[in-house]
Amino acid sequence: MIPEHKIQEVLERVDLVGLISRHVDLKKAGREWKACCPFHQEKTPSFYVVPEKRFYFCHGCRASGDAVSFVQRYLGKTFLDAVRDLARELGVDLEAEQDPSMRERQQIKEATDQAAEHFRAMLWQQDEGRSARAYIASRGVSEETAMAFGLGWAPLEWASLTERFQKLGMLEWAAKAGLVLKRNSGDGYYDFFRSRVMVPIRAPEGRPIAFGGRLIGADEGPKYLNSRESRLYNKSETLFGMDQSRDEIRKRKAAVLVEGYFDAIGLHQVGVRHAVALCSTNLTAGHMQVLKRAEARELILLLDGDSAGLAAVERLSGPLLAAGATARVALLPQGDDPDTFARREGQEGVERLLEGAHPLTSHLFASLLPEGKAASFEEKMAALERLKPVVGQVPVGLVRATLFSAVAEHFGWRPADVEAALRSKVPLPKPASGDAPPSSPNRPAPPLEKPPPALECFYVGAVLKEPRLMARDTFRVCDELSHMGLRMALAHATSGHGANDALFESSEAVKRGIESALRQLPSEPVPLEAAFLSICREIMVRRIDERLVYIKRATEQTPGAFDLTEETRQLLAERVELLALKKRVLEELKPASSGTKAPMQPV
């Protein structure tokens, strides 16, 4: 992906008049240039180039845009090829400005896609995947659920996946992804995952970025084995099952957190579809950001009722309290895990358990000091020691002060004494691993990205929902998009990569904008098309109105009609054409279903 600020540099440096004049006979017209339009047959010039604004437009066929869109339209180039051609001509080095890891990230992505397909195919082979299918069935996972989560099988052979990558010429890429390892002696590679049921770990957009493998039918190796971190996969910013649960989390405004992949899969199968699982033992600020983007306002910890489950509450309390998150704890009966409980009790049983979950601090205090004020001095001191690492993760402020007061109330001590005791050995909060590293002179902070306009997000979101809507864009509104990040996402999606891949490649700001639009757009084809036409109409009308305002300001100080300059006459003629164009836009883009409006809410 080309950085947005480099595309802007290309547009700022290109001589738009010089570029277009290679193909069109432009004539000076005041501060603008005009010609017969190269995109349709006409005898009277209605094609204008405005160097000051860096755009062109035609009043006849409504063609408009910037230098990139001109190259796209006139020379039949794709968006990315048009940018690259202009950059090469201008001497703008796009490759130098890309993140050095971008190429490696792309290679890992393609290798991970290949591995996911290989594992999936192995699982459903009649003989090869029989033992894996038997294990999956023993966990109560149906074929439909297994397919939905993309489960697979890594055979016991040492080089099953390696041979596939060798044939594809992608061995080095697979090694970067941690899918194959170099042999200790001699040449060649061998498979990292062997004799394991494979669980793809996916990004929220649905693309596989890593794997978890459960050992079966062999004695060598750990019971569970996960992909190592890579340019594509950061376990401190990834929650398993987010691709399947995102819509339900938004609907309920809550998420259920479990610790195992099959626990999350089992909950989904019985209908608890807002369950996600950690890909590590720790909960980080990165995980909280993922949940925040999915609009989760509450997190319910569904944990085993044994000592390990109680220890997990203590381990997860610090990050949750530090984030100021609303959290509750639901403990399973002794001997149960979420998977087995869900199979036995079904969705209703799980929902009852979740409804009875206790607030995090109440559960924490009760487990650390069950007798509360009546506990002995020694018991209170032991509980206080266990609280120190929890409090140590909470930054100074209102949450921390309130926590001290709540501890004091439960212990029956004075808040000042509790605060002094907890502060005595409380470590300073460390930055979460998911936090971005600070900028330095050797690594300057990247340019701040301009937030995408809400209306343009709705346009791109509608096309991602239904690509065929592009054919209804008779006024080429796609060329009117001002945000380069959105234009990149649109180009990626319409070049055959699909909506999920376009979101996967987008920046966080663009991703948030498009996802917000997707949630608000209608799902049914007819209302979606009506909304799309409304969006196109609104964008075009806004562009026309902006130009009309400019013309008004430029001509309002003109003298009488007999003293008009040539430039003023052209502007007034353009105003008449724009008003006619606005009328056509309002008529031609009138939705077939009256009363259906685009959801023009801020993103």
- DSSP characters over 193-249: --SEEEEEEE-TTS-EEEEEEEE-S--SS-SEEEPPP-SS--GGG-EETHHHHHHHH
What pLDDT is stored for residue 29 in this prediction?
83
Phi/psi at 201 (5° precision): -100, 120
Among left, alpha and beta (phi > 0; psi -120 to 50; other), residue 397 is left
* Structural tokens at position 346: 């079904």
Integer-rounded Cα Rg, in Å, for the chain is 30
Reported as a pLDDT band with limits 50, 70 and 90, residue 594 is: very low
Percent of the chain with pLDDT over 90: 34
- CA–CA separation, 2 vs 80, rounded Å? 8
Is there a single domain that holds both residue 63 and residue 167? no
What pLDDT is stored for residue 444 in this prediction?
47
What pLDDT is stored for residue 441 in this prediction?
42
Task: With respect to residue 440, please indicate whether it lies within any of the assigned structural domains.
Answer: no
Task: With respect to residue 380, please indicate whether it lies within any of the assigned structural domains.
Answer: yes
Is there a single domain that holds both residue 139 and residue 26? no
pLDDT digits (tens, 9 = 90+) for 16-40: 999 999 999 999 888 889 899 998 8
What pLDDT is stored for residue 597 in this prediction?
52
What pLDDT is stored for residue 53 in this prediction?
82
- CA–CA separation, 246 vs 515, rounded Å? 11
pTM, 2 dp: 0.69
CB 351, CB 341: distance < 8 Å: no
What pLDDT is stored for residue 449 in this prediction?
60
The residue range of the domain holding 375 is 369-423
What pLDDT is stored for residue 268 in this prediction?
96
Is residue 185 classed exposed, middle or buried when 0-12, 13-18 and 19+ CB atoms within 10 A define those classes? exposed
CA-based nearest residue to 59, from 434, 593, 576: 576
What pLDDT is stored for residue 585 in this prediction?
85
CA-based nearest residue to 261, from 155, 119, 139: 139
Is there a single domain that holds both residue 394 and residue 268? no
Average pLDDT over residues 300-309: 82
Buried b (16+ CB within 10 A) or exposed e, 328-346: bbbbbeeebbbbbbbbebe
- CA–CA separation, 245 vs 265, rounded Å? 10
CB 20, CB 71: distance < 8 Å: no
Q: Which of 71, 90, 109 is the last residue of a domain?
A: 90
Q: Are strands 64-65 and 196-202 parallel, antiparallel or unpaired?
A: unpaired
Q: Which of 21, 56, 90 is the last residue of a domain?
A: 90
Which DSSP helix (H) or strand (E) runs through 385?
A: helix 377-391
Largest CA distance in the chain: 101
Among left, alpha and beta (phi > 0; psi -120 to 50; other), residue 545 is alpha
Average pLDDT over residues 285-299: 89
Percent of the chain with pLDDT over 70: 89
Q: Which residues contact 84 (CB under 8 A, 6 or more apart)?
A: 2, 94
CB atoms within 10 A of CB 317: 26
CB 248, CB 394: distance < 8 Å: no
Is there a single domain that holds both residue 475 and residue 531? yes
Cα atoms found within 13 Å of the Cα of residue 567, Cβ hemisphere only: 11
What pLDDT is stored for residue 221 in this prediction?
82
Q: What angle do CA 417, 422, 423 make, to 5 degrees?
A: 100
Task: With respect to residue 433, please indicate whether it lies within any of the assigned structural domains.
Answer: no
What pLDDT is stored for residue 366 in this prediction?
86
Average pLDDT over residues 334-338: 87
Task: With respect to residue 265, please indicate whether it lies within any of the assigned structural domains.
Answer: yes
Task: With respect to residue 396, please indicate whether it lies within any of the assigned structural domains.
Answer: yes
Is there a single domain that holds both residue 458 and residue 572? yes
Average pLDDT over residues 437-462: 68
State the DSSP string of 522-548. Answer: -SSHHHHHHHHHHHHHHHHHHHHHHHH
Reported as a pLDDT band with limits 50, 70 and 90, residue 591 is: low
Task: With respect to residue 437, please indicate whether it lies within any of the assigned structural domains.
Answer: no
pLDDT digits (tens, 9 = 90+) for 358-370: 999 888 888 888 8
Is there a single domain that holds both residue 549 and residue 581? yes
Give residue 488's identity as a one-letter amino acid code.
Answer: M
Average pLDDT over residues 555-562: 63
Q: Please give the residue that has the higher pLDDT: either 532 or 100.
A: 532
Is there a single domain that holds both residue 125 and residue 18? no
Hey, is 160 helix, strand or coil?
helix
First to last CA, the chain: 23
Is there a single domain that holds both residue 332 and residue 288? yes
Q: Angle, to 10 degrees, between the axis of helix 102-123 and the axis of helix 130-138?
A: 90
Is there a single domain that holds both residue 278 and residue 361? yes
**Bridge-partner residues for 398, per DSSP?**
none
Give Cα separations from 284 to 18, 252, 302, 403, 512 (angstroms): 53, 22, 17, 20, 20
Q: Please give the residue that has the higher pLDDT: either 558 or 465.
A: 465
| DSSP 8-state assignment for residue 494 | I
Q: Is the pLDDT of residue 92 over 50?
A: yes
Reported as a pLDDT band with limits 50, 70 and 90, residue 433 is: very low
Q: Which of 343, 365, 387 is the last residue of a domain?
A: 365
Percent helix / strand / coil, the chain, rounded to 5: 55, 10, 35
Is there a single domain that holds both residue 295 and residue 387? no
Is there a single domain that holds both residue 474 and residue 581? yes
- CA–CA separation, 462 vs 469, rounded Å? 8
pLDDT digits (tens, 9 = 90+) for 305-329: 777 777 888 888 888 888 888 999 9
pLDDT digits (tens, 9 = 90+) for 202-239: 998 888 999 999 999 877 788 999 999 988 899 988 99
* Structural tokens at position 557: 């100080």
CB 242, CB 207: distance < 8 Å: no
**Bridge-partner residues for 201, per DSSP?**
210
Q: How many domains does the chain have?
A: 5
Is there a single domain that holds both residue 70 and residue 156? no
Q: Is the pLDDT of residue 5 over 90?
A: no
Cα atoms found within 13 Å of the Cα of residue 7, Cβ hemisphere only: 21
Reported as a pLDDT band with limits 50, 70 and 90, residue 602 is: very low
Q: Is the pLDDT of residue 264 over 90?
A: yes
CB 512, CB 106: distance < 8 Å: no
pLDDT digits (tens, 9 = 90+) for 33-90: 989 999 888 888 888 898 888 888 887 777 788 899 898 888 878 788 888 889 888 8
What pLDDT is stored for residue 282 in this prediction?
85
Task: With respect to residue 464, please indicate whether it lies within any of the assigned structural domains.
Answer: yes
- CA–CA separation, 95 vs 206, rounded Å? 28
What pLDDT is stored for residue 427 in this prediction?
43
Average pLDDT over the chain, rounded to an integer: 84
CB 79, CB 72: distance < 8 Å: yes
What pLDDT is stored for residue 496 in this prediction?
61
